[in-house]
Structure 1
Amino acid sequence: MSKTELEENLRATFDRAAASVPPAPDLMTRATDGARRAQRRSYVATGAAVGAVAVIATAGFALGGGLGGSTTPPPAATTPAPAVSSAKPLAVSEQLAGTWRPLTMDGFNGLKMARPDNPTLTFNSDGTWTGSDGCNGISGTFTIGQRGEFTGTAGAQRLIECANVPHTAVLQAARRIAADQTTLKFYAGDGREVAIYARAR
């Protein structure tokens, strides 16, 4: 049998086999629908897989502390700072202001003697001072530094002898003072205590 005759016999056999198969008009429809359902299932599975990967990646990022896998400890709890009082201590110049009476004076022992006037000193906020030595009115000026550095000068005065209290000598010898609400102390340049006064008013 020639090649051409063999091909014709095979073609005729295929045609008879095809004619014997019952017709199925919805075969293509079912095939198409099946392909679409398979494609949708593929999309759903792919979306679920992507979502799962995203969740795992997010959790890993959060647990790992971000890129690099380093962990950052939570900020330490801070203890609130104690309340600070807004009240300021009085400056030495403010503590000095007012009237004072002598308690002790280096080298002078006559403070308890009777006199016409009370021996006092009054320091004013304008840098002047006034007072009495027990017999005479006296006055002068003074300066005071942030740390109690002190200089005092005395003006001209009348001198009536009556065991005068030497306020002016104290002020001229003093180079530093220390004052609080009740006590005023004068110190010489070498640290020696020159006099102590008590607040009169």
Structure 2
Amino acid sequence: MTANTRVLVVTSSILGAHGQSLGLAQHFQRVAQQRGDLTLKVRDVIADDLPHLGLEELSSWQVTEEERTAEQRELAARSDALIAEVLDHDVIVLAVPMYNLGIPSQLKAWFDRVLRAGKTFRYTENGPVGLVDGKRAILLGARGGKYAGTAMDSQTPHITHMLGLMGISQLDSVFAEGLNMGEELKETALSDAHQQIEALVASL
């Protein structure tokens, strides 16, 4: 990355200060702040309380800016701002807990607004093509059990495909797993994850 790399950290734990994925994000931030060439911004989709995407908001995207009502302009502005934020950063860090084998619904609501045809991808005769170039993504995953590399990890492919739809193909993943499988395993998993995060920050 070039000097003054801009990093967007997206957190999505409903457990607040007790969230293990939030802890991974905070460790990333602490290490990153030790460098003088990284600019950090945090987007907490839980605090944002993003609603599920509805028809009225979706419809607001289909209307030209000149034709939108005041309500449609307000609804479209939500997606516009989140997309602009993604485009304004070089690295997207996703701190993601696993809930029932998937991602938090609030994070899905964020993805539903940044994955937008004509803005971050477009449809072609050969399928969708991403419009977001030159970005790098980092997944910080916290999980109570062990799922990475197994058929039960439906979360990682989902995130990979959603990022890929935008054109973000460079994805590094750090998983802290087995966090509910005993204190010793938890401490080892978190320590290993912290070391991997430190190496990733050094590579930015």
TM score, norm. by length of structure 2: 0.24
Give the structure with the larger helix fraction: 2
Larger radius of gyration: 1
TM score, norm. by length of structure 1: 0.24
Greater RCO (Cα-Cα under 8 Å, separation 6 or more) = 2
